[in-house]
């Protein structure tokens, strides 16, 4: 259940290129417990005058829970949530939930590997700090576009020294996923948060290596796919509905806009509640969820409407949009 409350913006700070930390003071702060790594807030955002929800990891929290910070990347092809978050000024009020936990760190493993891609560091940084305090055996692998786009780089280097491994696209130093997974022993737990390509590569390598599935834990931001977002058309033959999906909205949002009742929860491709049945597709489905297995994605009988999209087949002319026919539960 979401328990909504007001929160006031008490500080904003740019911490890297296109990345801003926004500190909030909720009216009903958590009491009697500390905020744990992996917790997030749901936030009501205003997108073109329409209320919507987004989830952001809590990157910092005051000891008494009176202030919480969210660190938000201004996504280049944002659907509007990160644009709204970057307009917030000190003194503004917004609606947030109490902290929620979907990505808990299990304490007591013999070894930990933490992997962050880009803004995924917001969830991973807190885990690394806790593991350090506990004296655990851990290493951090952090990849980003460039040094300027790498939030908390200096702080992490100072706190974690040789345990921190950095990878920069701009310098051609890329994370070698097969080598990383080859070095993992039984019992090691891997926590990752980042773009779907990175997480998918790790998940496949993990499965190929026959490692314990429950030792691989992840959180996604649900907005990065295999292909650039393109406009496409969605048809619901049973309901006689047809609508265009623009590059900055999801199937779920577009169908809600035209009055189709949809089930959903996470809006990040994790829970599967928004799944729809694919009746026909003229194009290629860009599955952006982490809910369906590879086999289910290959068969493309269903997709998660909150994140997945369709791109044209190469044989379609440049001007032709992809089409998707679906049915909803």
Residue 204: alpha-carbon gap to chain centroid: 18
Stretch that binds ligand FES, among 28-36, 46-54, 264-272, 278-286 (CB under 6 A): 264-272
User: Residue 234: which of 221, 222, 219, 246 has the closest Cα?
Assistant: 246
In the list 273, 279, 281, 328, the residue contacting ligand FES (rule: CB under 6 A) is 273
Segment holding 36, helix H or strand E: none
Site for ligand FES in 286-325 (CB under 6 A): 289, 291, 304, 306
Q: Judged by CB, which is closer to ligand FES: 52, or 148?
A: 52
Assess 255 for contact with ligand FES (CB under 6 A). no
CA distance 261 to 258: 9
Q: Judged by CB, which is closer to ligand FES: 152, or 292?
A: 292
Stretch that binds ligand FES, among 20-28, 142-150, 229-237, 259-267 (CB under 6 A): 259-267
- Would you give the end-to-end CA distance of the chain in angstroms? 22
Assess 249 for contact with ligand FES (CB under 6 A). no
Other Cβ atoms closer than 10 A to 191? 28
Assess 137 for contact with ligand FES (CB under 6 A). no
Site for ligand FES in 85-104 (CB under 6 A): none
Q: Cβ 221 to ligand FES, closest distance in Å?
A: 13
Assess 264 for contact with ligand FES (CB under 6 A). yes
Q: Judged by CB, which is closer to ligand FES: 139, or 253?
A: 253
Assess 67 for contact with ligand FES (CB under 6 A). no
Q: Cβ 306 to ligand FES, closest distance in Å?
A: 3
Residues that contact ligand FES, how many (by CB under 6 A): 14
Q: Cβ 222 to ligand FES, closest distance in Å?
A: 8
User: Residue 227: which of 305, 310, 144 has the closest Cα?
Assistant: 310
Assess 253 for contact with ligand FES (CB under 6 A). no
Stretch that binds ligand FES, among 93-101, 142-150, 174-182, 271-279 (CB under 6 A): 271-279
Q: 61 near 19, Cβ under 8 Å?
A: no
Assess 150 for contact with ligand FES (CB under 6 A). no
In the list 117, 195, 269, 312, the residue contacting ligand FES (rule: CB under 6 A) is 269
Q: How far is CA 183 from CA 109, 202, 211, 321, in A?
A: 16, 13, 11, 44
Q: 302 near 276, Cβ under 8 Å?
A: yes
Torsion of CA 246, 250, 255, 258, to 10 degrees: -40
Paired with 117 in beta bridges are 143
Assess 116 for contact with ligand FES (CB under 6 A). no
3-class SS of residue 82: helix
Phi/psi class of residue 43: alpha, beta or left (left: φ > 0; alpha: ψ in -120 to 50)?
A: beta
Other Cβ atoms closer than 10 A to 279? 14
In the list 9, 47, 239, 271, the residue contacting ligand FES (rule: CB under 6 A) is 271
Q: Cβ 272 to ligand FES, closest distance in Å?
A: 5
Q: 100 near 65, Cβ under 8 Å?
A: no
Q: Which residues bind ligand FES (CB under 6 A)?
A: 264-267, 269-274, 289, 291, 304, 306
């Amino acid at each position: 259940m979401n328990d909504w409350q007001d929160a006031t913006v008490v500080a904003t700070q740019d911490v890297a290129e296109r990345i801003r930390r926004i500190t909030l003071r909720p009216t009903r702060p958590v009491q009697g417990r500390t905020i744990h790594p992996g917790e997030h807030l749901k936030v009501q955002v205003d997108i073109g005058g329409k209320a919507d929800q987004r989830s952001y990891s809590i990157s910092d929290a005051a000891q008494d829970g009176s202030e919480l910070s969210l660190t938000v990347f201004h996504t280049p092809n944002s659907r509007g949530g990160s644009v709204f978050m970057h307009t917030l000024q000190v003194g503004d009020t917004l609606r947030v939930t109490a902290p929620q936990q979907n990505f808990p760190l299990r304490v007591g493993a013999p070894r930990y590997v933490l992997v962050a891609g880009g803004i995924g560091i917001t969830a991973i940084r807190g885990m690394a700090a806790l593991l350090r305090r506990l004296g655990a055996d851990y290493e951090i692998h952090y990849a980003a576009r460039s040094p300027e786009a790498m939030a908390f780089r200096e702080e992490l280097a100072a706190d974690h020294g040789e345990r921190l491994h950095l990878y920069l696209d701009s310098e051609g130093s890329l994370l070698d996923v097969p080598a990383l997974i080859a070095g993992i022993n039984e019992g090691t737990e891997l926590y990752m948060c980042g773009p779907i390509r990175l997480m998918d590569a790790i998940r496949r390598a993990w499965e190929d290596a026959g490692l314990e599935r429950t030792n691989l834990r992840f959180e996604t931001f649900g907005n990065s796919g295999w292909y650039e977002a393109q406009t496409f058309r969605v048809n619901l033959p049973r309901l006689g509905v047809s609508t265009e999906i623009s590059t900055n909205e999801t199937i779920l949002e577009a169908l809600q806009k035209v009055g189709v009742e949809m089930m959903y929860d996470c809006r990040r491709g994790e829970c599967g509640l928004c799944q729809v049945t694919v009746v026909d597709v003229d194009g290629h489905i860009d599955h952006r969820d982490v809910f369906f297995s590879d086999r289910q994605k290959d068969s493309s009988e269903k997709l998660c409407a909150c994140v997945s999209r369709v791109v044209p087949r190469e044989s379609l002319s440049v001007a032709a949009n992809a089409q998707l026919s679906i049915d909803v539960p």
